[in-house]
Amino acid sequence: MGLLRYTIVRLIQAIPVLIGITVITFILANVAPGDPVRLMLQGQEVDQELIDRIERQYGLDRPLHERYVAYMTNLLQGDLGYSIHRDRPVTELIIQRSGPTLMLVLSAYAFALATAIPLGILAATRRNEPADHVSRIVALVGVSTPSFWIGIMLILIFAIQLGVLPSSGLVYPWWGPEHYGYSGYVELLFQTIRHLLLPMIALGTLQMATLMRVERTQMIESLQGEYVKLARAYGVPERTILRKHAFQVAQLPIITIVGLNLSTALGGAVLIEYVFNINGLGRLLLEAIIGLDYQLIMGITVVIGTMFVVGVIITDISYAYVDPRVTYGDRD
Amino acid sequence: MAIGESQLDSDGPSTDVDAQFGWRYTFGKVMQDTTARWGLYVVAVVLFISAYTLIDSNLSRLTFGAVSDFAAAEALPLFEHPERIPPPGEIESNVPPAFHPDGTLSHPLGTDPDGRDYFTRIVYGAQVSVSVGIVSTLIGFVGGTIIGAVSGYYGGWVDDVLMRIVETVYAIPPLILIIVFIVFVSGGTPDIRYAIVGVGITFIPIFARIIRSEVLSVREMDYIEAARASGVKNRDIILRHVIPNSFAPVLVYATLQIGVTILVVAGLSFLGFGAQPPTPDWGQMLNVSHGYMHSNVWLSIWPGIAILVTIMGFNLFGDGLQDALDPRIND
């Protein structure tokens, strides 16, 4: 089976999960105790007529399964509902806020991979030496520290004490330098990185810690492989063995971990966006919750779930692309 | 059936001895590992503090009625009342920690904006974090064990349906699923109880997957075949043979999961979906201190360190337990 067919099969396999996400979200939103309309109005004095009208408008007077079918019909047309508090379509709000979240999550991954891979290799090649012990401590602290607290500490040190980096907000390069009044694209890039640095480290530390340990274990295993012994026997220099033979094989499990960890990263983004005042999906979710904006909360949950599923599919496909041994179409 | 039972029973005692030896051996191995031993010490200290404060606060409640009765505050033997906001003038608010020139030794970690002793609140915070961490993990553990065992043992369509549900729950990032659960189920008034249940349910899929993969191999064992042949009911086979024999890896995972749970609950409380004020809770204290980052730096530091040390303890202990139970991972 070719790569294209494998891709299609993976996409088809994802459909039940995507439908499941909408079902779970829909059930959660509708088993809620109390009248959603009254909750949305939050105790304001309104007459019954208005409540009835809102209920009709949102179809709340119809049975549950009918409402779900209606929700899904709209969803398939890209309509995630309407936010009463913001008086705008949910889809539009989500598209607007997805950029910052994706930028944050992707840069956190870039940071995690750029630090975890060299450190993991270093720890593997210097096993039980000081470098290995340091990497072990870094990994342990990394998985034990709440990301939002790392964010708070980074703000305290770099923004408040040293005053060198901004403590809130992001610069979005797609708005262009004119929007921010910067002199040109160089300054735009510089400012983008400057604003992104602290949230990126705060969100990426956990990923870095997990990836570093996996990289270390994989490299140790890979360095004990027959192909490495053979290469050594042929007198291939150790550096080349490391770079060409051991490294490439060791990267495969990393790809899978990256995909699965996307779940923690997307969840962590909510906390980091809150700490750093970033207007992404996570903050939109928190704002929607304060206003009990049902359709917006449901929409964001469905979109973030979909992002994770798509992310896992992308990593699965790239795994299959990189590893020639993968037999396409194997389930689980 | 009688023969089958007695055969299984005659097997029983010897495996029990093995198991006991196994547990003692495991414990010995954990204690040999320096880092794991320290992890166990930290866990023990945190558990002791939680137990002490739990008894402490409940004793005063039993003796003096409701906690809101602030006369009871004086009954607490070692600490000030963690929730009582002192009247103006009694204790200064925002006192810096003892090492600061303006600090006093009577408030080693300073006081919070309401004038409450910060050290007391940090100590009492252990109770919420640890009990929530353990209870939530237990919910995930029990739920996951049942679902995973049923799914793996029966196979077929039961397995298919249960695993699709598990996969779906897995697909929504835990923190977001928990927040949405809390908001919708509580109708917009979050409370620590909803957080406990929400976190527990969200972690069921992870446990279900681990126990299922164990059960898939246990299912093929001769003793299961023997039990089935002698007419033991499926439910009894699952409860008495399948689950006990697939237990060890899940138990290790549960220890590591407690750390993750405390981390998630801290995040929830930080966002305001966990413990509500005035309950002392590390995550919620960090939420309050977020507004004082410029003036009172120390308010943001101590709760974070408390979370870090606690989770590190559980992680070190869990790692040690894993190494002791699975010699393959040793390097």
Q: With contact defined as beta carbons under 8 Å apart, do B21 and B31 qualify?
A: no
Inter-chain touch B180–A28, beta carbons under 8 Å = yes
Q: With contact defined as beta carbons under 8 Å apart, do B31 and B256 qualify?
A: no
Residue type, B97: P
Q: With contact defined as beta carbons under 8 Å apart, do B308 and A209 qualify?
A: no
User: Closest partner residue to B176 among A23, A156, A270, by Cβ?
Assistant: A270
**What CA–CA distance (Å, rounded) separates A236 from B216?**
44
Q: CB neighbours (10 Å) of residue A118?
A: 12
Phi, psi dihedrals of residue B117, rounded to the nearest 5° = -65, 125
ipTM score for this prediction? 0.86
The length of chain B, given as a count of residues: 331
Which residues, listed in sequence order, are joined to residue A82 by a DSSP beta bridge?
A: A89
Chain B residue numbers touching A132 (CB-CB < 8 A): none
Does residue B147 form part of some domain? yes
**What CA–CA distance (Å, rounded) separates B104 from A79?**
60
Shortest Cα distance, chain B CAs vs residue A258, angstroms: 14
Q: Which residues contact B323 (CB under 8 A, 6 or more apart)?
A: B29, B33, B36, B329, B330
What residues 301-330 of chain B have any CB closer than 8 A to a CB of chain A?
301, 303-304, 307-308, 311-312, 315-316
Does residue B74 form part of some domain? no
**What CA–CA distance (Å, rounded) separates A84 from A70?**
18
Number of domains in chain B: 1
**What CA–CA distance (Å, rounded) separates B200 from B142?**
9
**pLDDT value at position B3?**
41
CATH number at residue B193: 1.10.3720.10
**pLDDT value at position A103?**
93
Task: Give the residue on A whose Cα is nearest the Cα of B291.
Answer: A275
Phi, psi dihedrals of residue B181, rounded to the nearest 5° = -55, -50
**What CA–CA distance (Å, rounded) separates A54 from A50?**
6
In order, the DSSP letters of B140-166 are HHHHHHHHHHHHHHH-HHHHHHHHHHH
Shortest Cα distance, chain A CAs vs residue B36, angstroms: 12
Inter-chain touch A301–B311, beta carbons under 8 Å = no
Inter-chain touch B267–A148, beta carbons under 8 Å = yes
SS3 of residue A93 by DSSP: helix
Q: CB neighbours (10 Å) of residue B14?
A: 9
Chain A residue numbers touching B311 (CB-CB < 8 A): 143-145
**What CA–CA distance (Å, rounded) separates A281 from B214?**
38
**pLDDT value at position B55?**
76
Domain A93-322 is of which CATH architecture? Orthogonal Bundle (1.10)
Chain B residue numbers touching A20 (CB-CB < 8 A): 164-165, 167-168, 171
Give the per-residue SS3 of A116-168.
Answer: HHHHHHHHHHCCCCHHHHHHHHHHHHHHHCCHHHHHHHHHHHHHHHCCCCCCC
A27 touches chain B (CB under 8 A): no
B263 sits in which H/E element? helix B247-271
**What CA–CA distance (Å, rounded) separates B228 from B240?**
12
**Mean pLDDT (10-residue bins), chain B, 331 residues:** 41 44 71 83 89 73 50 51 65 70 72 77 85 90 90 86 86 90 82 89 88 83 84 84 79 84 91 84 87 81 91 88 64 40
A112: which 2 tokens?
Answer: 């995690």
B264 sits in which H/E element? helix B247-271
In order, the DSSP letters of A240-280 are HIIIIIIHHHHHHHHHHHHHHHHHHHHHHHHHHHHHTT--S
**What CA–CA distance (Å, rounded) separates B221 from B215?**
10
Does residue B5 form part of some domain? no
Which residues, listed in sequence order, are joined to residue B322 by a DSSP beta bridge?
A: none
Burial class (CB in 10 A: 0-12, 13-18, 19+), A116: buried
Q: CB neighbours (10 Å) of residue A183?
A: 8
SS3 of residue B101 by DSSP: coil
Does residue B134 form part of some domain? yes
- Cα–Cα nearest to A292, from A37, A22, A95, A33: A37
Q: Which residues contact A272 (CB under 8 A, 6 or more apart)?
A: A104, A147, A148, A151, A199, A202, A203, A278, A282
For A69-85, write each residue's pLDDT tens digit.
Answer: 888 888 888 888 888 77
Does residue B19 form part of some domain? no
Q: CB neighbours (10 Å) of residue A7?
A: 17
User: Closest partner residue to A24 among B172, B175, B185, by Cβ?
Assistant: B172
B180: which 2 tokens?
Answer: 């949405």
Which residues, listed in sequence order, are joined to residue B117 by a DSSP beta bridge?
A: B111
A239: which 2 tokens?
Answer: 């550096």
B15: which 2 tokens?
Answer: 């495996």
A271: which 2 tokens?
Answer: 């906390």
Inter-chain touch B164–A16, beta carbons under 8 Å = yes
Task: Give the residue on A whose Cα is nearest the Cα of B269.
Answer: A271
Upstream peptide bond of B327 is cis (omega within 30 degrees of 0): no
In which residue ranges of chain A is pLDDT below 50? 328-332
What residues 175-234 of chain A have any CB closer than 8 A to a CB of chain B?
217, 220
Which residues, listed in sequence order, are joined to residue A83 by a DSSP beta bridge?
A: A88
- Report how far apart the first and last C-alpha atoms of chain B are (Å, whole number): 47
Q: With contact defined as beta carbons under 8 Å apart, do B317 and B268 qualify?
A: no
For A125-148, write each residue's pLDDT tens digit.
Answer: 888 888 888 888 888 899 999 999
Inter-chain touch B168–A17, beta carbons under 8 Å = yes
Q: With contact defined as beta carbons under 8 Å apart, do A301 and A25 qualify?
A: yes
What residue numbers bound the domain in which B144 lies?
Answer: 118-325
Q: CB neighbours (10 Å) of residue A67?
A: 16
Q: CB neighbours (10 Å) of residue A329?
A: 11
Map out the domains of chain A as residue ranges.
2-91, 93-322
**pLDDT value at position B12?**
41
**What CA–CA distance (Å, rounded) separates A271 from B122?**
22
Inter-chain touch A144–B312, beta carbons under 8 Å = yes
**What CA–CA distance (Å, rounded) separates A123 from B39?**
23
Write down the pTM of the prediction: 0.84
Q: With contact defined as beta carbons under 8 Å apart, do A211 and A257 qualify?
A: yes
A12 touches chain B (CB under 8 A): no
**What CA–CA distance (Å, rounded) separates B65 from B151?**
48
DSSP code, position B104 = -
A23 touches chain B (CB under 8 A): yes
